[in-house]
Amino acid sequence: MTRLMAEAINIRTHKAVRLTIGLLVLGAALLAITMLSLTTGARAIPPEHVWAALTAFDPSSTEHRIVLDLRLPRTIVGLMVGAALGLSGAVLQGATRNPLADPTILGINAGASLAVVLGVGLMGVSQLSIYVWLAFAGAGVAMLVVYAVASLGREGATPIKLALAGAAITAVLHSIINAILLTSPRTLDEVRFWQVGSLSGRTIDIAIQVAPFMVLGMVLALATARLLDGLSMGDDVARALGQRIGLSRGMAGLAAVILAGASTAAAGPIAFVGLTVPHVARAITGPGYRWILPYSMLMAPILLLGADVLGRIIAPPGEVQVGIVTAFLGAPFFIALVRRRKLAAL
């Protein structure tokens, strides 16, 4: 027995060391993609000039102003939004035990988008500080509606019913958004680039305004790791372990709404990041959310900034918005995931 316990401890220690090294590698990759984001664009800027702009800013230098005024805020917002999307997707997949769950599939992003579009179209809202609160309200209401619809029937909110309810509610919300935009040219002009998901034109003020909500959401999400491990084993097992199911799901849902609302307010609805990244993280770490969450938190901004950089270089001198690039990259993954789940069910 002692020998078996020692072997088990050695295996856990080896895994912890391996996964810790993986986090360090991801941290290095994140630094590299951050520097690439600062150097890449319509005008390429050498890394040494970027470093000079960050450490010894010269207001008379055009390159320094590009870095400080345009690319640095864009990169910071991309890092924050990416981390928020990765965490919210991982939390939702764990809380609902649904591999297809993410803020886009469950209608959270659509709810946040509709609230912002209504605010712009009906109330003339133009301040990001109000966008954030509208996005929170819309995200929360959409999540409640999806969960209520999925809960109808004897089985309750099963994973497949959540996905179907989310898809249906998302379609309805997007139809309302499109109707508003088609009948209100002013609203369309205000939100057309924001609506497709974009980091272009983001200022440091946006990062400052959403940062408190991002930090709060991230802390809540990381604190749910143990709760998600219990929920992932099923409600009966979680109850047997003394876990309060409603409170656990409520805490996870609150974290997801805060993160999705803040990210949507800052960059618009960006699809597939929250869906794909947790699956890649889970394939590397295994089922434990103590590792899935930090891996998702680092991998998602790498993907988002990578997509943003790709969008800048594939159509010079213009650019393709990051929401379009992530949808293009994520759609094949989503199809493969659905196909694999379908085959597994046969």
175 pLDDT exceeds 70? yes
Between residues 245 and 155, the one the model is more confident about: 245
Q: What is the mean pLDDT of residues 82-100?
A: 90
Which tokens belong to 332? 């094949």
Where do the structural domains in the chain lie, given as residue ranges? 78-345
d(CA 331, CA 272): 7
CA–CA separation, 272 vs 52, rounded Å?
36
What Rg, from alpha-carbon coordinates, does the chain have? 21
Q: What local confidence, expressed as pLDDT, does residue 1 receive?
A: 53
Helices (H), the chain: 2-39, 47-55, 62-65, 72-96, 108-123, 128-151, 159-183, 185-195, 204-223, 225-232, 235-240, 245-267, 273-285, 289-313, 322-345
Average pLDDT over every residue of 186-214: 82
Contact of 115 with 78, CB cutoff 8 Å: no
* Residue in this structure with the two tokens 């409600």, named with its chain if needed: 235
| pLDDT confidence of residue 278 | 92
pLDDT score, position 38: 94
Can you tell me the mean pLDDT for 198-219? 89
Q: Decide if pLDDT at 346 tops 60.
A: no
Does the pLDDT value for residue 156 go beyond 80?
Answer: no
Residue 31 has pLDDT above 70, yes or no: yes
* Residue 84 pLDDT exceeds 70: yes
Mean pLDDT within 273-296: 92
> What is the arithmetic mean of pLDDT over 1-15?
69
pTM of the predicted protein model: 0.88
pLDDT tens column, 293-339: 999 999 999 999 999 999 998 877 778 889 889 988 877 877 776 66
Average pLDDT over all residues of the chain? 85
Contact 125, 134 (CB under 8 A): yes
pLDDT higher than threshold 90 for residue 97: no
Name which CATH class applies to 78-345: mainly alpha
Say yes or no to pLDDT of 344 above 50.
no
What's the pLDDT band for 5 if we cut at 50, 70, 90?
low
Supply angle C-alpha 70, 328, 149, rounded to 5: 105
- d(C-alpha 198, C-alpha 295), whole Å: 24
User: According to the model, what pLDDT value does residue 343 have?
Assistant: 38
pLDDT beyond 60 at 221: yes
